[in-house]
A and B are shown apart, each in its own frame.
Chain A
Amino acid sequence: MDTMADITGASMNRAAAAAGVERSTAEPVNKSAARSLYAKRLRIHPKAAHGVFRRLKWAIMAVTLAIYYLTPWIRWDRGPNAPDQAVLIDFPARRFYFFFIEIWPQEVYYLTGLLIIAALALFLATSLFGRVWCGYMCPQTVWTDLFIAVERLLEGDRAARIRGDAMPWTVGKIARKAVKHAAWLVIAVLTGGAWVFYFADAPGLLADLVRFQAPAIAYMAIGGLTFTTYMLGGHAREQVCTYMCPWPRIQAAMLDDESLVVTYREFRGEPRGAHRKGDSWEGRGDCVDCNQCVAVCPMGIDIRDGQQLECITCALCIDACNGVMDRVGRPRGLIAYDTLTNLQRRTTGQPPRFRLARLRPVVYAVLIAVVGAVMLAAFSSRGSVELSVLRDRNPLFVTLSDGSVRNGYTIKIINKRHQGRDFRLTVSGSVPAQLSILAAADETATVTVGPDRLASFRVFLTVPAADVRGESAQVTFVVSDTASGDQAVYDSVFRGPSK
């Protein structure tokens, strides 16, 4: 067994917690016993954990990182007039492409709907399963996990790292640290790089980036994200979750007595103490005080102190403790996902109960369904042509030499297909209006709008003197595709002189 340098400088403890289980000297950063008002930050070196939840975290990390890095490279053919990237936020052309969906800037309310659904989904997940976002899916968690894994790969596990940090600065130490920081920077640059590929065509932008011909903003964005990824994932780590992020505090409000949290079963574990092989387990708790749960915690807390703000419910302590329980021959689940009411029930000997269909999750689920349905309905009723009519306000109307009255309009037609289309413009209403389009090719009131474009036209409506009805009359403009018959309508008015 290797000796381990205690990070607080206390004397080394070689005692084993149980047969085949070494006692870690890891101290939690925020003990319930001795809290000070101000404490300097102590660097945490989480030990590697092995188990179901660790494997789950690896899987989620792989999936989320794969989605993040690979999505910009997926191709989607939209024809010759449009970009062929599946997910693209095209700022210069002001479009958002998502596979078969194309959103114009006027339709940004879909983003609102998406954000509402995302927020409600987060609330739903939290009310049911606790802080699973924090522990498994949050980018800070994923990237910090990745950075710690790289650090563990290059510098060894917890014991080796603490030893290495305590040693004087030799050339070897400098080289090792440099390699680690270089690896971190590479990951950080790739993160920033992946981000900018969402905003431009990925293959083209990559070629420009390596040839130093990309726009300055691309380099600045990559630089900024490199800096933040490196600092937050490499250095700030758990400080982000404890001090910077508002989500822990919101999550704390989201949790209730029936949400899943990581619980230490005090009724089973106490009184804790070292266990010698062959000793009885009567009259003592299952906790052998090996401190493995503290050693593996990426937040540096002791879950045996109870629920804490810092606990991101990543369940690595569950994996560590289950491993130890297996080795000492006790049942698993000394630390486990459970609800606080169940912890209460188990403590008093009652059977646990999991209630998923509580009012809060049901309300969230219903709201998600409603918002989703509204968005789906709005989305499926999107037309491929849109019409907007701006009536001239200055002058309101013009009286012509034969006494007829004329109103001017600016018509804006949006063609959402990726090929140019011809549209016929007609007007109907309570007054017999003659329609003419400025600079029209012929008398048929047909205009051409390019692919994926907005075109505007000046249109005049003229009504003979005898047919002018009062100061204001309703008219309706209808624009219809000459080929497919797709239509859009817009109501306006026709104004005349006051009688």
Chain B
Amino acid sequence: MAQGREVDQSSGTETTGHEWDGIKELNTPLPRWWLWTWYATILWAVGYWILMPAWPLVSSYTTGLLGHSQRAVVAQSLAEAKQAQIGYTSRIVDASLAEIEADPALLEFALAGGRSAFAVNCSQCHGLGAQGGPGYANLNDDDWLWGGTLDDIAQTIRFGIRSGHDEARVGDMPAFLRDGILDQAQVEDVVTYMLSLSGEAGDAEAIARGADVFAEQCTACHQEDGVGSHELGAPNLIDGIWLYGGDRDTLIQTVAGGRAGAMPAWIGRLDAAAIKQLAVYVHALGGGE
């Protein structure tokens, strides 16, 4: 029950006026410094709502009178960073790939830029260390489908392989069994012959039969001795490096069902400087020609 407020003698403070089982409570006033600080924080909060992005709306938010935006700040920083690099990137755009590789300062910049662009754009398929996997080329070795010179690499990056771009590289490995060009036995024979080119032992008759099939069907693209062709994108069949796998079953699958791997075209997605840096970087991985 509310009772009269008393003044406590030792502290000089009023009681709240309530009493519970004989216990009374002092109504000590809030410290003035604390109270005014609290009012100040309230004022600050209201001001902040008005000036800065604050309240979420149904599908947007209040942007505040000052128009501050973290996204704009980040975009600004990115633009400034790009501008800071303009000395190098403009030289890279103007120079040829060979000139970039010959100039130590440009080379260092291009390698660093290529490394980071590779990690962002290419590592998803080719791996962070560029070692690839089944169906994705290992860019470290010296086995190239479409050529490993600087210009070849730049061309591949720009227009891709079977990417749908007008200037894309397009190769054609037919599905010999599925399309009925060869039967199962012939497919197995030609694979036996192909493996024998790399020194693997096999049935002599099967090798002989396979050699005939090979001469008829395969040499057009893969050449007489199986070394492949960079113009046609036909892989080298005797160097022990395989894009999809070099075990017998996988090779049979390749011949039987054909292969048509794709690489996107990066022109339009990356600027000219980035593509050149990537080309230099990939070339410098160790297997460039």
Residues of A within 8 A of B (CB): 392-395, 398-403, 406, 408, 438-439, 458, 460
B127 contacts A401, C-beta separation under 8 Å: no
A12 to B217, CA, bound (A): 126
A176 to B201, CA, bound (A): 108
A401 contacts B241, C-beta separation under 8 Å: yes
- When the two chains form the complex, which single residue of B101, B129, B239, B241 contacts A395, counting CB atoms closer than 8 Å? B129
- When the two chains form the complex, which single residue of A398, A401, A406, A458 contacts B239, counting CB atoms closer than 8 Å? A401
- When the two chains form the complex, which single residue of B130, B138, B284 contacts A438, counting CB atoms closer than 8 Å? B284
Does B189 touch A at the CB level, under 8 Å?
A: no
Highest count of chain B CB atoms <10 Å: which of A395, A403, A458, A460: A395
Does B268 touch A at the CB level, under 8 Å?
A: no
Q: A394-B129, A400-B241 are in contact. List 17 more A-B contacts (CB 8 A).
A: A393-B129, A394-B128, A394-B131, A398-B131, A398-B140, A398-B287, A400-B142, A400-B143, A401-B141, A401-B143, A403-B240, A408-B140, A408-B286, A438-B284, A439-B104, A439-B107, A458-B284
In the complex with contacts A394-B127, A394-B128, A401-B140 CB distance below 8 A: no
Q: Given the complex, which residues of A lie within 8 Å of B138, measured CB to CB?
A: 395, 398
Q: Given the complex, which residues of B lie within 8 Å of A394, measured CB to CB?
A: 127-129, 131
- When the two chains form the complex, which single residue of A393, A400, A438, A458 contacts B141, counting CB atoms closer than 8 Å? A400
A395 to B240, CA, bound (A): 18
A386 to B107, CA, bound (A): 24
A393 to B127, CA, bound (A): 12
Q: Given the complex, which residues of B lie within 8 Å of A392, measured CB to CB?
A: 129
A398 to B236, CA, bound (A): 17
| Residue tally, chain B, CB below 8 Å to A | 20
In the complex with contacts A439-B101, A439-B104, A439-B107, A398-B240 CB distance below 8 A: no
Q: Given the complex, which residues of B lie within 8 Å of A403, measured CB to CB?
A: 240
In this complex, what residue of A is CB-closest to B241? Answer: A401
A392 to B129, CA, bound (A): 9
B286 contacts A406, C-beta separation under 8 Å: yes
* Between-chain CB contacts (< 8 Å), 27 pairs: A392-B129, A393-B129, A394-B131, A395-B127, A395-B129, A395-B138, A398-B138, A398-B140, A398-B141, A398-B286, A398-B287, A400-B142, A400-B241, A400-B287, A401-B141, A401-B143, A401-B240, A401-B241, A402-B239, A403-B240, A406-B140, A406-B286, A408-B286, A438-B286, A439-B107, A439-B284, A458-B284
> B116-146 CB contact bits vs A (8 Å, 1 = yes)?
0000000000011111000000101111000
A244 to B138, CA, bound (A): 65
A401 to B143, CA, bound (A): 6
A460 to B129, CA, bound (A): 15
A105 to B18, CA, bound (A): 69
How near does chain B come to A390, taking the closest CB pair, in angstroms? 13
In this complex, what residue of B is CB-closest to A406? Answer: B286
Q: Given the complex, which residues of B lie within 8 Å of A439, measured CB to CB?
A: 101, 104, 107, 284
Q: Given the complex, which residues of B lie within 8 Å of A401, measured CB to CB?
A: 141-143, 236, 239-241
A466 to B104, CA, bound (A): 35
How near does chain A come to B226, taking the closest CB pair, in angstroms? 12
Q: Given the complex, which residues of A lie within 8 Å of B284, measured CB to CB?
A: 438-439, 458
Q: Given the complex, which residues of A lie within 8 Å of B239, measured CB to CB?
A: 401-402
How near does chain A come to B35, taking the closest CB pair, in angstroms? 29
A116 to B221, CA, bound (A): 74
Highest count of chain B CB atoms <10 Å: which of A398, A400, A402, A458: A398
Q: Given the complex, which residues of A lie within 8 Å of B130, measured CB to CB?
A: 395
Q: Given the complex, which residues of A lie within 8 Å of B127, measured CB to CB?
A: 394-395
Q: Given the complex, which residues of B lie within 8 Å of A408, measured CB to CB?
A: 140, 286
A439 to B111, CA, bound (A): 11
Q: Given the complex, which residues of A lie within 8 Å of B107, measured CB to CB?
A: 439
Which positions 220-254 of chain B face chain A at CB distance < 8 Å? 236, 239-241
A71 to B5, CA, bound (A): 73
A395 contacts B286, C-beta separation under 8 Å: no
A408 to B107, CA, bound (A): 18
How near does chain A come to B253, taking the closest CB pair, in angstroms? 22
In this complex, what residue of B is CB-closest to A403? Answer: B240
Which positions 60-75 of chain B face chain A at CB distance < 8 Å? none
Q: Given the complex, which residues of B lie within 8 Å of A398, measured CB to CB?
A: 131, 138, 140-141, 286-287
How near does chain B come to A207, taking the closest CB pair, in angstroms? 29
A408 to B129, CA, bound (A): 11
A458 to B286, CA, bound (A): 9
> B159-192 CB contact bits vs A (8 Å, 1 = yes)?
0000000000000000000000000000000000
How near does chain A come to B11, taking the closest CB pair, in angstroms? 21
Q: Given the complex, which residues of B lie within 8 Å of A406, measured CB to CB?
A: 140, 286
In this complex, what residue of A is CB-closest to B284? Answer: A438
Q: Given the complex, which residues of A lie within 8 Å of B287, measured CB to CB?
A: 398, 400
How near does chain A come to B102, taking the closest CB pair, in angstroms? 8
A401 to B237, CA, bound (A): 10
List 5 A-B pairs, minimum CB-CB distance, nearest first.
A394-B129, A401-B239, A395-B131, A398-B140, A395-B129
A408 to B131, CA, bound (A): 13
How near does chain A come to B235, taking the closest CB pair, in angstroms? 11
A394 to B119, CA, bound (A): 13
Q: Given the complex, which residues of A lie within 8 Å of B241, measured CB to CB?
A: 399-401
Q: Given the complex, which residues of A lie within 8 Å of B236, measured CB to CB?
A: 401
Q: Given the complex, which residues of A lie within 8 Å of B129, measured CB to CB?
A: 392-395
A178 to B233, CA, bound (A): 89
Q: Given the complex, which residues of B lie within 8 Å of A458, measured CB to CB?
A: 284
How near does chain B come to A413, taking the closest CB pair, in angstroms? 15
Q: Given the complex, which residues of B lie within 8 Å of A395, measured CB to CB?
A: 127, 129-131, 138, 140
Q: Given the complex, which residues of A lie within 8 Å of B143, measured CB to CB?
A: 400-401
